[in-house]
Amino acid sequence: MSQETNSAPVTENKMGTMPIGRLVFNMSLPMMISMLVQALYNIVDSIFVAKLSENALTAVSLAFPLQTLIIAVATGTGVGVNALLSKSLGAHKYDEANKIGINGAVLYAFSYVIFLILGLTIVKPFYMSQIGNADVEIMDMGVSYLSTVMIFSFGIFAEIYFERVLTSTGRTIFSMTSQLCGAITNIILDPIMIFGLLGFPKLGATGAAVATVVGQCVAAVVAFVCNHKFNHEISLSFKGYSPDFKIMGTIYAIGIPSIIMQSIGSLMTYAMNRILIGFSSTAAAVFGVYFKLQSFFFMPVFGLNNGITPIIAFNYGAQNRKRMVKTIKVSLITAFCLLFVGFACFEFIPQVLLGMFSASDDMLKIGVPALRIIGVHFLIAWFCIIVGTVFQALGKAVFSMIVSIMRQLVVLIPAAYILSKLGGLHAVWWAFPIAEVISFTVSTLFLIRINRTIISKILMEVIWRIKT
């Protein structure tokens, strides 16, 4: 971000002028690639950890709920910042956009302080609530891993903040650059820190956490530099700053539903771990591996989401219904193609996928049918993800929250618990396709409402303006 004050950019933003197909590709592909790489280094983390032992893999897997919570707060706040920035830029309100950026940064700093405190206080009780004192080795490795991730989470908060500012102005190539730098750093450091290569101490599972936080810090620095050098539509200066609680409230009004929605995912993961650990630690490890694998296919779709959110929000601010609708159509087709590939991999090569994690015979016995059953929901999830993004971009993120609550708390967890009692471990996995069908139904109903109350109304307003 330039420190110079600019009242307006010289040329019209590409989100209002570039052909939609090319624009979606231009905005989303860098984000899709970068998030694919992020998913890859998460997988690489677990692959290296799995080489230590299955207990190490389980320990890292059980940390996932709180790791997910960190990401939920960071990305959910980013949804609010992103949508408000893009809408302000679309309406040519540049001073307002600058204020949004500054107050968003303050909210990110506040979020980090909260997780720093949590990292110092609740990690051990969190692990005990899942496994008790059943396995001291899993407990020790898990506490060390998760404490490191949470105490040094300032890197991920800074990274996501600066990347969202870049995305809001259409500079997704720089967002991709920062994420790639972070991911590559993580991948390089993983074996060095875990196994003690090149003269470094052997840190085991904790080494994976160290590699992760260093990679996040590198990504944050790169994103900051890219903003400072290339992002001239938004000027950030804290000189004379005073908090604008109205802007902060609006950011959270949009972002909190997304935070809650993703936090529900964290709660769901925690509850599933509790259910599965009752069968065996291997079952919990399989669930952890599933999450790593599914992220490889879902992350590009989330990258697509990050790319289309400012497009939809910008054209909403500019009252351009045609571009909004075409953006939604293109993104739906793209998301389907991406997740169909995931479905095919889960159905036809589950042994290969699990083999990457040094799967034991017991893990293969549990994991192969689990992946095939869970993979069915890929055929539905693409629609729900894109539609949820539309809700957020149009300021109706509460709809996404409701869908998420219905899917994960009202349906998935109760279904998993009931199925575990009626049909055992094999039946538990069917809770995912069942929940996705409910999510599809509710999402469709909300989309119909959004089309009637917002999207179609834009056309009517434009016609009225022409006539008057």
Question: Which pLDDT tens digit goes with each residue over 6-35?
Answer: 444 444 567 677 778 888 888 888 778 877
Predicted confidence (pLDDT) per residue in 48-80, tens digit? 998 888 888 888 888 888 988 998 899 889 888
The answer to whether residue 200 is domain-embedded is: yes
The answer to whether residue 306 is domain-embedded is: yes
Closest C-alpha among 93, 81, 9, 54 to residue 317: 93
The answer to whether residue 128 is domain-embedded is: yes
Predicted pLDDT of residue 425: 92
Please provide the distance, in angstroms rounded to a whole number, between the alpha carbons at the two ends of the chain. 40
The answer to whether residue 2 is domain-embedded is: no
Number of domains in the chain: 1
Tokens of 4: 């110079």
- Residue spans of the chain under pLDDT 50: 1-11, 462-463, 466
**What phi and psi values does residue 14 have, to the nearest 5 degrees?**
-65, -20
Tokens of 111: 């979020």
CA gap 303, 163 in Å, rounded: 12
User: Which residues constitute the domain of residue 171?
Assistant: 14-467
The answer to whether residue 3 is domain-embedded is: no
Tokens of 289: 């591996």
Predicted pLDDT of residue 468: 52
Residue 156: C-alpha distances to residues 65, 81, 115, 175 (Å): 16, 16, 11, 13
The answer to whether residue 450 is domain-embedded is: yes
pTM of the model: 0.76
CA gap 408, 415 in Å, rounded: 10
Closest C-alpha among 334, 272, 303, 273 to residue 39: 303
Closest C-alpha among 68, 71, 46 to residue 288: 46
The answer to whether residue 4 is domain-embedded is: no
CA gap 381, 407 in Å, rounded: 11
Predicted pLDDT of residue 133: 65
SS3 label, residue 320: coil
In contact, 59 and 89? CB cutoff 8 Å:
no
The answer to whether residue 51 is domain-embedded is: yes
What residues contact residue 451 under an 8 Å CB cut-off, 6+ apart? Answer: none
Predicted pLDDT of residue 303: 83
